[in-house]
Amino acid sequence: MDLFFRRLLRTAFRRGMADRNWAWFLIAGCVFVLRRTLSDNRGLVSSVKIAPGEQVLISVRDRSAPAGDTTSASDED
């Protein structure tokens, strides 16, 4: 189904650009919103398969801190 929507989106956008017809742009916009709504990977950041015995370390850092800053609030005491 995604292949159909992707092809329809591309075709509608191209026809809208070629003909300067707003109806094709409207169709392309509706298909774009529909594809985004039906997409199942909205919250996916990473996908990793883990074998038995393997470990994964997930770390979170403050966005406002520089990338190399390793100090935390508990280290300042």
Taking a C-beta distance cutoff of 8 angstroms, is the pair 50, 58 a contact?
Answer: no
Q: Which domain holds residue 5?
A: 1-37
- Residue 68 has a pLDDT of 66
Is residue 56 in some structural domain? no
How many structural domains does the chain have?
Answer: 1
Q: List b or e across 59-76, with b for residues whose CB sees 16 or more CB atoms inside 10 angstroms.
A: eeeeeeeeeeeeeeeeee
Q: Could you tell me the pTM of the whole model?
A: 0.50
Is residue 69 in some structural domain? no
- Residue 7 has a pLDDT of 93
Is residue 6 in some structural domain? yes
- Tens digits of pLDDT across the chain (77 residues): 788 989 999 999 999 999 888 899 999 999 999 988 887 665 667 778 889 999 888 777 777 777 665 665 555 55
